[in-house]
Amino acid sequence: MKPELFIVMPAYNESANIKMVVKLWHPVVEKNGNGSKLIIFDDGSKDDTYIVLQELEKKYPLLKAISKINSGHGATCLYAYDYAIKAGAKYVFQTDSDGQTNPDEFWQFWQLKEKYDFIIGSRIKRKDGLSRIFVTKVLKMVVWLFFGVVVEDSNTPFRLMNVERLKKILEYVPEQFFLSNVIISMLAVKFGERYKWIPISFQERQGGINSINLKMIFRIGKSALSSFFKIRKELKGVEIK
């Protein structure tokens, strides 16, 4: 039987959070059943995240830990989506492993899975800092300027996607792209997919150190502009079926 749902998470140096995160999210795949799994992709952590995950696998039967070479958050999300596609999962849900999202809010997404193919969280009452909120607002403006579509919260790490429709969209996402979720959100709107944004809560990081700082944000932003020019050029005249 092919799995109905994969919950996928990238993890980098999350040893301070990972036990709590698995404890919170594993019941979701248990309740759903139908071959569902919680899969955490350790992105070449320098701490003992992967070792902790291997121990947790013994306690949580629907947890699978995968270790990979470090490539960054966006590229790891693409790696996870490709894994779900190859495994034949029907739906893939992506969130992060830092404890900022609430698994109780997953079920309102799940109830709408037949009606929408891309259900993405819109972060409200955020507690992750002004710099992150600023980046979200700038991304919204940049996506509109480059691609002519309004995307409410393009980079939210809380999204349920129909794997078959995601597979079509990924054909237009560059390999290893560092803002993969941003482009997926944009393409879902631009190509007229069945999409919906749902308000979600977003807590402060529950432990550990945030690997993204302002210096890195500006460096990523500069690189993103060049990539967006290229993607916009490649999308001219393209229609997805």
pLDDT digit string (tens) for the chain, length 241 residues = 789 999 999 999 999 999 999 999 999 999 999 999 999 999 999 999 999 999 999 999 999 999 999 999 999 999 999 999 999 999 999 999 999 999 999 999 999 999 999 999 999 877 666 666 777 788 888 899 999 999 989 899 999 999 999 999 999 998 889 899 999 999 999 999 999 999 999 887 666 565 555 555 566 666 677 788 888 888 887 767 6
- Angle (CA) 128-221-117 rounded to 5° is 70
Name the one residue in this structure whose structure tokens are 């320098």.
46
**Is residue 240 assigned to a domain?**
no
- Does residue 79 fall inside a structural domain? yes
Residue found under tokens 């409410």: 152
Residue 65 lies in a domain: yes
pLDDT for 156: 93
pLDDT at 128: 67
Neighbours of 124 (CB within 10 A): 10
Report the pLDDT value the prediction gives residue 231, as an integer from 0 to 100. 87
Q: Which domain holds residue 51?
A: 5-235
Within 10 A of 210 (CB to CB), how many other CB atoms are there? 14
Q: What is the pTM of this model?
A: 0.91
Report if residue 231 sits inside a domain.
yes
CA atoms of 29 and 165, how far apart (whole Å): 22
Q: Could you tell me what percentage of the chain is helix, strand and coil, using 3-state DSSP and rounding each to the nearest 5?
A: 45, 15, 40
Is residue 212 domain-resident? yes
Strands 63-68 and 91-95: unpaired
What is the token pair recorded at 61? 């039967």
Does residue 241 belong to any structural domain of this protein? no
Within a domain: 40 = yes
Please indicate, yes or no, if residue 94 is contained in any of the structural domains. yes
What CATH number is given to the structural domain containing 137?
Answer: 3.90.550.10
- Residue 131: phi and psi, rounded to 5, are -65, -40
Say how far apart CA 39 and CA 29 lie, in whole Å: 10
Q: State the total domains in the chain.
A: 1
Cβ pair 68, 41 in contact under 8 A: yes
